[in-house]
């Protein structure tokens, strides 16, 4: 049997997201919702990577239900190889309910751990799928689900390393799923193999108890030569490697929905590394992708194509040149 062999593989939870249409509508009160939207941090990453032209595959689990069909259709439409989507018997597709407060914070109610997403089976992941792998992307939210998910991620990691591939790790702290101390313990073995770490600035601080970014990244980076990127939202990002720091400014855009921005940033960062660009160019490209991601409602809806990123970058260059001239 022929099997797909993508270069970028993402493993983790697949779910649909059902959200409040505006801020200030908490989940503990009756009200309107919008959705379902295709979602899950790893699934958003995979979609963003495919839109940026990367040959991407996804490993996860969905139910034999309407939401599962929604996810399969989404991956097919986006060009993500979903041949390794498992369908565990008698489990429904995962769901997340989301509300926003007036300051931009989010409140979640998850049905994931005991849904299909939490039943991912390591022994159903074929080694042949990894024959051309260049990067494996793992999210901390996946590691926090349960032992099944961690075992599956460990198998995927081992198969990637056996082929000479690299590991990308987004801590993606979800304290609704796991307490911080346990999160640190679960994350630790995967930090040892990570070539690329993608925490937010606050995640790096919480994971290390260090307020200084340099000290925090030194504690997080276990592999020689690893790249650590602190995602800073509208302020851009800070890139650390071998004791050097590079700050890249962000983009001013109108924020509609911040969900998925970090996943789009991560996909764009790997796209830049795959293209062998200088880190400054990679960071700029990733910042632009993350900025575009917040401009539309829905977790994946704002994930940009490479052409859309290039348009924003070109517009920014022109604006800066005009400001300098005047």
pLDDT in tens, 106-144: 888 989 999 999 999 999 999 999 999 999 999 999 999
The overall average pLDDT reported for the chain is 93
Instruction: Clarify whether 263 is annotated catalytic.
Output: yes
Question: What pLDDT shows up at residue 105?
Answer: 78
Choice among 81, 170, 257, 263 that is catalytic: 263
**Residues 258-276 pLDDT 10s:** 888 999 999 999 999 999 9
Outline where 52-192 has alpha helix (H). 66-78, 140-143, 147-162, 180-191
Q: pTM for the whole thing?
A: 0.93
Sheet containing strand 56-61, edge to edge, reads: 81-86, 56-61, 8-11, 135-139, 166-170, 196-197, 227-231, 237-241, 244-248
Give mean pLDDT, residues 247-261: 90
Instruction: Give pLDDT, residue 66.
Output: 97
Q: Name the CATH architecture for the domain at 8-319.
A: 3-Layer(aba) Sandwich (3.40)
Q: In whole angstroms, give the CA distance from residue 300 to residue 44.
A: 6
Decide if 91 contacts 116 (C-beta within 8 A).
Answer: yes
In the predicted structure, residue 324 carries a pLDDT above the cut 60: no
**Angle of CA points 263, 17, 53, to nearest 5°:** 35
Domain ranges of the chain: 8-319
- Among candidate residues 240, 160, 177, 164, the one with its CA nearest the CA of residue 13: 177
Q: Is the pLDDT of residue 3 over 80?
A: no
Placement of tokens 């993606």 in the chain: 172
- Give the dihedral sign, CA 86/89/93/94: negative
Percent of the chain whose predicted confidence (pLDDT) is above 90: 81
Which pLDDT value is given to residue 325? 56
Burial of 64-75, coded b for 16+ CB within 10 Å and e otherwise, reads eeebbebbbebb
Give me the pLDDT at residue 2, please. 66
pLDDT at 88: 97
Element housing 167 (H / E): strand 166-170
């Amino acid at each position: 049997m022929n099997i797909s062999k993508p270069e970028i593989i993402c493993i983790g939870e697949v779910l649909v997201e059902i959200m409040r249409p505006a801020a200030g509508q908490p989940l503990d009160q009756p009200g309107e919702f919008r959705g379902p939207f295709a979602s899950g941090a790893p699934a958003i990453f995979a979609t963003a990577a495919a839109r940026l032209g990367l040959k991407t595959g996804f490993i996860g689990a969905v139910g034999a239900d309407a939401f599962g069909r929604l996810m399969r259709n989404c991956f097919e439409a986006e060009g993500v190889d979903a041949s390794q989507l498992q369908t565990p018997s008698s489990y429904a597709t995962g769901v997340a309910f989301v509300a926003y407060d007036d300051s931009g914070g989010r409140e979640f109610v998850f049905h994931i751990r005991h849904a299909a997403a939490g039943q991912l089976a390591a022994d159903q992941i074929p080694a042949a799928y990894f024959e051309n792998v260049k990067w494996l992307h793992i999210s901390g939210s996946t590691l926090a689900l349960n032992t099944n998910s961690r075992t599956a991620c460990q198998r995927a990691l081992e198969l990637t390393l056996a082929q000479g591939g690299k590991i990308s790790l987004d801590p993606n702290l979800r304290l609704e799923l796991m307490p911080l101390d346990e999160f640190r313990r679960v994350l630790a073995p995967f930090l040892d193999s990570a070539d690329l770490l993608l925490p937010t600035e606050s995640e790096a601080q919480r994971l290390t108890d260090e307020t200084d970014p340099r000290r925090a990244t030194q504690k997080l980076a276990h592999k020689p030569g690893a790249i650590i990127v602190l995602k800073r939202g509208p302020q851009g990002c800070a890139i650390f490697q071998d004791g050097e720091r590079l700050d890249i400014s962000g983009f001013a855009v109108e924020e509609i929905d911040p969900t998925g921005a970090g996943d789009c940033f991560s996909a764009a960062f790997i796209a830049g590394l795959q293209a062998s660009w200088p880190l400054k160019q990679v960071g700029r490209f990733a910042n632009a992708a993350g900025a575009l991601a917040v401009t539309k409602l829905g977790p994946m809806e704002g994930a940009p194509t490479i052409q859309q990123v290039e348009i924003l970058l070109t517009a920014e260059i022109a604006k800066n040149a005009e400001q300098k001239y005047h």
